[in-house]
Structures are given as C-alpha cells and as structure tokens.
Chains A and B, each alone.
Chain A
Amino acid sequence: MSALFPFHGGLKTVRHKSESNRRPILAGPLPHQLTVPLRQHIGATAKPLVQVGDRVLKGQMIGQADGYISAAVHAPTSGVVTAVESRPVPHPSGLPDLCVAIETDGEERWIERQAVDYRRLHASEVRAVLRNAGVVGLGGAGFPSAVKLNPGGHDGPLDTLILNGAECEPWITCDDRLMRERAAGIVAGLHVMVHLLEPREVLIGIEDDKPEAVAAMVAACAGTGYQVRVAPTRYPSGSVKQLIQLLTGKETPVDGLPVDVGVQCFNVATAYTVHRAIDFGEPVLSRIVTVTGQVAQPGNVEVLLGTPFSALIELCGGYREGVERLIMGGPMMGFALHGDDVPVTKATNCILAAGAGELTPEQPAMPCIRCGACVEVCPAKLLPQQLYWHAHAKEFDKAQDYHLFSCIECGCCSAVCPSHIPLVHFYRYAKNEIWAQEKEKQKAELARQRHQARLERLEREQKEREAKLRQKTPPRPAPAVDAGQLPIETAVARAKPGRVAVSMDEPQPSVAVKADGPERGG
C-alpha cells in the first residue's frame, strides 16, 4: 500500500462493529405509512409537487429541487398522499419540518424507469439526471452530489477523486456491508463520477478494521486503475478534510473546499446511488441503516426513506432492557432523539439504541484544569481549552480569533476531557450565537441602508422641487405641474422661500457625497 499522511490528533475509540456487521443486509419493512421529509439534504427544502389525495407511484418525484443547492425527493413506494404538513423529523434542533405522508398500497408500482448511457450524454445532462434522482451525500451531511460533480466549479483538472469508505465512527457498519455485498455497484457509480470529473487518480479510503470490505473493493476495482488505500483505524479518519490529508497529504484551506486543493470526496453509498440512478433509472428511495446497540438482533437494513425508526427497531427484534438513549448516527457525532416516531432520511446511517453498556456513566463537569488533553487529540489543531474559555464567557469574537469555525465537532476533545466538560456543546452554542448575531447585524444593516436611501431620496426630491420652484418663481406654478409630487411637501417648500435660497447658495449639496459615501463600507 502507498504511503499515508497521518493527520494530527484523533482517537482510538471503542469499535463495536461486530455486533451489526455479521449479518447480510436485510430487506426493510413496507410500513402502512411513510413520512417523507422534503428536506433530507443540505440546502433549500424541496418544493412539494403533490397534494393530499394524489396517487403516487414508486419513484415518482414528490418534491422538486428548489434552487441549485437543493435535491429532489421521491415517493419511496406507491400509495396515496395523506398529508403535506410539518411532522417530527430526526434533526438535532428537534423542530418539525415539512413532510409528505404516504399511505402505502403494498403494490410497489413503479414509475417508468429509464437507464441512461452517461458516456453519450453531455456532462450537464448526466448531472441533471442525478439531480432529479435526488442523489445527495449519504455519509451524513446530505450535500447535493450534482453540485460537487460539476468540474466547472474549480480551475484546472481535478487531481484526486476520493471515495470515502473509512466509516470511522464506532458501531456503524452500513458502508462496510455495502462494500462487501455491492462493491461492483459502487465501482459502477464511481465510473460515472470519474467520467464527469476526469480526475488524475482515484483513491478509495477504507479503515483497516474492514478487511472483507477491502478485499471486495480491491476485487471490484481490478483493471480500473482505482486504488484502494487501507488506513489505520483512527477516529475521525472518515471526516472529509482528515481523509484528504491522510490519503494525499493535502490540507484543505480553513475557509476553502476540497476542490481548492484539487480533490473531491464522496461516500461509497453515494457512489452506489449514482449507479442505481444512471444504470437503472432509480431515484434515491432507500438507504442502508445500521440498527445496533440494545436491540435483540442488530444488523443492517435497506430501508425505504420515510420508514419510522420504530418499524426498524421492531424488524431487529425490538429493544432490549435498559435503553437510555436513542442516537441517530454514531456515538461520537450522532445526536440523541426524544423518541422513535421519526422517519429514516437520507442522512440516517445508524440507529444506536444505547444502554448503560454503550454509554459512559454521566459525571459532573469540573472546572477546566487546562491540561491540554484536548489539544493533543484535536484534528483541526485548535486549542479547545481556549475556545471553551471564551465560549463559556460569551466572548464570541475571541472564540473566532481562536478559529471556532475550524471546529468540525468531531467530539474528540469532549471524549478525553478529564473534567468531563461538554466542550463541543459549548462550540455549537457559540457558533449558533454568532450566526444569530450575524443575521441580526445583516437585518439591521439592511434597515439602515433602506433608511439612508429613503432620506437621500427625500432630500433629492426636495432639491429637485426647489430647483423647479426657483425656475418658476416669477409665474406662480400651476398645480398640475406638481402632480405626482406630494402636495404637502410642495406646500411646505413653497412656504419657506428663505431656507430654499440659503441651501441653494451652498456650493455643493451633501447629497452627492452621501450617494457613495461611507455607508457603503459600513
């Protein structure tokens, strides 16, 4: 294997992969009702295309991408739309979001599916197909893939296309099983990506705790020139910037994107959906979800989007005793849910029913003793203790001086803190506060600009009227001339001939200065 370029920090965490990665991927249930959120991606919520009472076919678009950074949403099976309304969704905010509820008919009647030959299509047409198929990053972030597959977004050819099969979070094995069972499909999707991006090299990064997946991918890549790189198991090697550093030695700039260093990175599951969309005409209707922890039969399930978590838990034999937290995602970055009545989305890679065995007993937070354990593990090379100090004191500008926004919220610092301070929680809080302040500032700035513009307009109109007035002073102005102007202001201006004369004598009215004066910079 080729040389790797280890990233700073990181952790050896518990693994707990074997609980769920021994069984083949199970087919998911077909529940009576599916609740499909219209935003399962980063960007604008999809525009609903259906109404209550509409019959929908499996694969029919029910939400249209709204803008460039958005993604389409489809009916995961055939049935009848019973509601288009806000429903609880799995999101850290706990806020409900717009969903389409479908009562399934159990017939699985498909739309007409059409495979396309991507080699014969223009790149933009291929991207349109992916866009309309709702292809987004399935690693968790859900960024619309068509945007990242547009080489027009960066200068020069792409150096490296990376396929992320690291799956560094403990417990999660959905990518592991996918690579083992459907490596050929992943590579077929990869061909499409390579066709669109024309990278110089293609690297597939997989952590060394997945030897079967590595073997399957190596076999599937035979003869393609794509290289499988096996990385040591170290959290968070699956984080985009860390994986790029690990495989290429390139650091993605603080305020930049991977394309800025000539790299683009996709999850293996995303490549698989690209393959289904192009070679089978199937939009993204399902995904593989790891169900693990305190459930009777942990495993991986291929689930229709919109399936309630509870149905998945049931399929895996139900909860065992003592489930304390229900986590979507892994234990390092996943978030705890209040209940299992939320639907699976494109971002749901894992449902972890965590009991006492999986969680660390809660311990009271102590003062920070500045030991620096967090500095050692921070993959972003931040000073988490200083960030905490300033976030805690609500000194948000200082927190930004310490590069708050370089924090990837991987959780390493919180995990090692001997004082058990929920550090990442403080960073999220600080970021949210700063965003809120930014918004307030923008609003205030806009209001100020509008107010300024209005004052200027009034002043300008006044001057114009005064100029006209002076020209026409000997003959009294006919009221018809001033039609369209405010009669009161005209009257006021007329009533103050002295002031008019004075202001007109001034060499230069202040209007011209103000027009592109300091407020632009302000």
Chain B
Amino acid sequence: MRFKTATSPHILRETGVGQVMRRVLYAMAPGVAALAWFFGWGVLVNLAIATGVALAAETSMLAARGKPLAVHLGDFSAVVTAWLLAVALPSLAPWWLTVLGVSFAIVVAKHLYGGLGYNPFNPAMIGYVVLLISFPREMSAWPIPHGVGQAHALGLPETLEIVFGGAGRLVPDGLTGATPLDVLRTQLGLGLTVTEIRNSPVFGIVSGSGWEWAALGFLAGGLWLVQTRAADWRIPAGMLGGLATIATVFHLIDPQRYAPPWFHLWSGAAIFGAFFIATDPVTASTTPRGRLIYGAGIGVLVYVIRAFGGYPDGVAFAVLLMNIAAPTIDLYTQPRVFGARRG
C-alpha cells in the first residue's frame, strides 16, 4: 500500500485565524450594544457601512494581488478592522467618512504593506488618524448620550437621513455635544478645577454618562477574549497599568489639575483600546515581556496626549507610535531560552 506523507506533527488544533477573528467580533457585541443604546442607530449604521466597504475593498485587493479569495475572506480580519474603526467613529458621521476611513485602512494600511500578517501599523488606527487629521469637524459628531439633558433619541429613518444626507445637511444643533474628555480638556484650559468640571451633566458615575457603560461592555468582552486566549492578557494589563500609574502620579501631584486614574481608565477609548486595538497581534510586540512593555508604552502615551497634547484622546496615536517601537522591543525582550545561562 502507498500512503501520502506529511511532516509532523500530524495532529493540529483546529482553531484557525478565522475563529480567532470571529471571537473578537463576538467580544465586541456587549460594548457595541451599550454604545447603540446611548448613541443611537448611528452606531449600527456605521458598522454596516464599514463591514460592506471592508469586504469590497478586501475582495478587490485580494483579487489584484492574486490571492485565493475564499481562504482570506474567511479569515474575517477585514471585518475586524472595519468594526474597530466603525466603533471609534462618531455615530452620526456622514457615510463617506466611514467609506474613506475603511478603504484607506484596508487598501493602504493593510494590503499595500503586504496584507494580513505583514502590516506594521494597525490598519484601523491608520484609517482613524487619517480621518481625524483630515476631517476634525465631522469626527466630533457624537450625539449627546441617551438620558443626558434633553437628548432626544433619533429613529432609524432620521439617523439614515443624517448619515446619508449629503454635504449640505449637517447634523442639527443641540443633537451633538462634546465628549467628556473634550469637556475636561477645554474647561481645564479655562482654569476650572477637576472637581468643578466633574459637576457637568456629561459626567456619570465614574466618567462620561453613557460612555462608562460602553466601557463596561467592552471590559466584559475583553476579559472573555483574554480568557479564551484570543488576546494576550499582557497587552491590556500593560496598557491599563501604564495609564493608571502615570495618571496616579499626576493626580497625586495636583488633584485639581489632573483627573483621577479611575476617570482616565474609564474614559474615551482606554478600555476598548486596551482589549481590542492594542491587542492586534500583527502590529504588537510578540514576546511575553515585550507585550507588557508595549502595552505600558501605549498607556503612558495615551495619558501624555490627553493631559499635554493637542487631542482629547490619544489611543490611536499612542498605538501607532508603539507599533513603530514593537520590533525594537521584541529584539531586546527575548525570553531566556531553556538551558541558557541566567542573567
């Protein structure tokens, strides 16, 4: 009898890249649900547009590069990129903003850099930063969260009208408002103290109203990701640890100028970034110790940008900056090989 040969090992775990990516999508569900509850249909509309655009862009790029479509579309990596970016976009962003950001992420940041596994920068964050720099006004179209002030919930038709309304139809006044980090930043600039600012209705129990529930949702999903090992615990631990440490130091120095660490941990994209964005393995550090350092670097940079930089939040910039540093971190954090001399 003749048999086929193959190299060992002959038994493999069946979990594939596709499963890992799908797990990321499932893990985003609770946070996305909370966002949709507080910020309306726009969150889901963004997700739908982004998914469609990402699949179209991925398909055409794969075809152009002569890659097998079924295998690579089945890895769901494009959808993950789309969702990461869509969640970061304001829920009443015009449709073309999403299209532009996702296309740039997939075409330029992912495929022109070599495709899955080869891109040095987190594609979703590249897309986000391109939009943030090019369209600052559209990028701040966050509605006032449900339950704050006289925010009124938009129905699906109204939302679609705003999103697809074309350039002429801007979001009605009074519908959108500054995010909590925005408020903190502007009012600190006006000389108010953290305690005074915290009395504003945009703030909830720990951080921003509505926002804090979304963060809770993402934390739940993120912990599940870590538990299923789809994400390495070291990156979120490093990032949240780094952010908390530097925030604590400054808060202790001057509690009226610097918000407390729990506010920072619970605000903006900190939790979402720690569990979903920074954990993108392709662009992160890959050694165990390196991942802690990589995460911590992001945490510190996020704080520096928030407290001293030109933007209210800094997760995207912090992640991209640490992406550049990842290969160097890897080089200097190689684990001690079994049997090698200690020290």
Chain A residues within 8 Å of B, Cβ to Cβ = 7-8, 13-14, 170, 241, 245, 251-254, 256, 319, 323-327, 329, 331-340, 354, 358-364, 366-373, 375-376, 379-383, 385-386, 402-403, 406, 409, 411-412, 414-420, 422, 424-425, 428
- Which residues of the other chain, A, contact B13 by a CB distance below 8 angstroms? 360, 415-418
User: Is the C-beta of B56 less than 8 angstroms from some C-beta in chain A?
Assistant: no
Q: Is the CB–CB distance between B75 and A381 below 8 Å?
A: no
Nearest 9 interchain pairs by C-beta = A367-B117, A411-B9, A336-B5, A331-B10, A254-B339, A360-B12, A425-B7, A371-B281, A332-B9
Question: Which A residues are CB-close (under 8 A) to B15?
Answer: 416, 418
Q: Per a CB cutoff under 8 Å, which of A358, A379, A402 touches B338?
A: A379
In the bound complex, CA of A420 to CA of B75 (Å):
12
Q: Say yes or no for B19: interface residue by CB 8 A criterion.
A: yes
* B313, CB-defined interface residue at 8 Å: no
**Would A359 and B10 be within 8 Å (CB), given that A325-B4, A403-B337 are in contact?**
yes
Q: Which residues of A contact B12 (CB under 8 A)?
A: 360, 363, 414-415, 417, 420
Please determine whether B9 and A414 come into contact, CB atoms closer than 8 angstroms. yes
Please tell me which one of the listed residues A338, A406, A412 contacts residue B339 in the complex, with CB atoms under 8 A apart: A406
Interface residues of B in 246-285 (CB under 8 A from A): 281-282, 284
Q: Is the interface of B mostly helix, strand, loop or mixed?
A: loop
B190 at the binding interface (Cβ < 8 Å) = no
Closest to A253 in B: B339
Distance in angstroms between the alpha carbons of A420 and B117 in the assembled complex: 13
Counting CB contacts under 8 A, is B212 at the interface? no
Q: Quick one: closest A residue to B16, CB to CB?
A: A418
Show 28 residue pairs from A and B whose CB-CB distance is below 8 angstroms, ordered by the A residue: A14-B11, A253-B341, A324-B4, A326-B1, A327-B8, A331-B11, A332-B9, A335-B7, A336-B5, A336-B6, A339-B2, A340-B1, A359-B10, A366-B72, A367-B116, A369-B17, A369-B77, A369-B116, A369-B282, A375-B287, A379-B338, A380-B338, A382-B335, A416-B15, A417-B12, A417-B13, A418-B15, A420-B12
Give complex CA distance A371, B18 in Å.
13
B229 within 8 Å of A (CB atoms): yes
B115 touches A367 (CB 8 A): yes
**Closest residue of B by beta carbon distance from A255:** B339
Interface centre among B1, B7, B11, B334 (most CB of A within 10 A): B11
Are B11 and A13 within 8 A (Cβ)?
yes
Residue of A nearest to B279 (CB): A371
Does B58 touch A at the CB level, under 8 Å?
no
- Beyond the given pairs A327-B10, A369-B20, A418-B15, 5 more chain A to chain B contacts, judged by CB atoms under 8 angstroms and listed by A's residue number, are A327-B8, A338-B5, A367-B115, A369-B17, A370-B282
B339 pairs with A360, CB closer than 8 A: no
Question: What are the interface flags for B164-182 relative to A under an 8 Å C-beta threshold, 1 for contact and 0 otherwise?
Answer: 0000000000000000000
* A358-B11, A360-B12 known; A336 vs B338 contact (CB < 8 Å): no
Given contacts A381-B335, A416-B13, A420-B12, contact A369 B117 (CB under 8 A): yes
Measured CA separation A190–B137 after assembly (Å): 81
Question: Is B135 in the interface zone, CB < 8 Å from A?
Answer: no
With A339-B1, A383-B286 as contacts: A251 and B338 at CB distance below 8 Å? yes
Interface centre among B8, B19, B334 (most CB of A within 10 A): B8
Among residues of B, the one whose C-beta sits closest to the C-beta of A335 is B8
Chain B residues within an 8 Å CB radius of A13? 11
Give the residues in chain A near B336, CB-CB below 8 Å. Answer: 381
Q: Are A334 and B10 in contact (CB under 8 A)?
A: yes
Interface centre among B4, B12, B13, B20 (most CB of A within 10 A): B12
Q: Answer whether residue B288 sits at the interface, using C-beta atoms and an 8 A cutoff.
A: yes
A370–B281 CB distance below 8 A: yes
A residues less than 8 Å from B286 (CB atoms): 370, 372, 375, 383, 385-386
A370 pairs with B338, CB closer than 8 A = no
- Docked Cα-Cα span, A422 to B281, in Å, equals 19
A420 and B4 CA atoms in complex are apart in Å by 19
| B133 contacts chain A at the CB level, 8 A cutoff | no
A415-B229 CB under 8 A given contacts A337-B3, A364-B71? no
B8 pairs with A334, CB closer than 8 A: yes
Residues of chain B within 8 A (CB-CB) of A414 are 8-9, 12
**Inter-chain contact A326/B3, CB cutoff 8 Å:** yes
The CA-CA distance from A319 to B341 in the complex, in Å, is 50
| Chain B residue at minimal CB-CB distance from A429 | B7
Q: How many angstroms between the C-alpha atoms of A319 and B1 in the bound complex?
A: 10
Give chain B nearest CB distance to A244 CB in angstroms: 10
Set of chain A residues within 8 Å of B115, measured between Cβ atoms: 367
- In the complex, the answer to whether B11 meets A373 with C-beta atoms within 8 Å is no
The chain A residue with its CB closest to the CB of B291 is A372
Provide the residues of chain B in CB contact with A327, threshold 8 Å. 8, 10
A383 to B334, CA, bound (A): 8
Query: Is the pair A406, B337 in contact by a Cβ cutoff of 8 Å?
Result: yes
Q: How far is the CB of A335 from chain B (nearest CB, A)?
A: 6
CA distance A104 to B17 in the complex (A): 55
Kindly provide the distance from the CB of B110 to the nearest chain A CB, expressed in whole angstroms.
Answer: 11
Residues of B within 8 A of A379 (CB): 338
What are the residues of chain B within 8 A of A406 when measuring CB–CB? 337-340
Which residues of A are found within 8 Å of B4, using beta-carbon distances? 324-325, 336
Contact, CB under 8 Å: B16 / A402: no
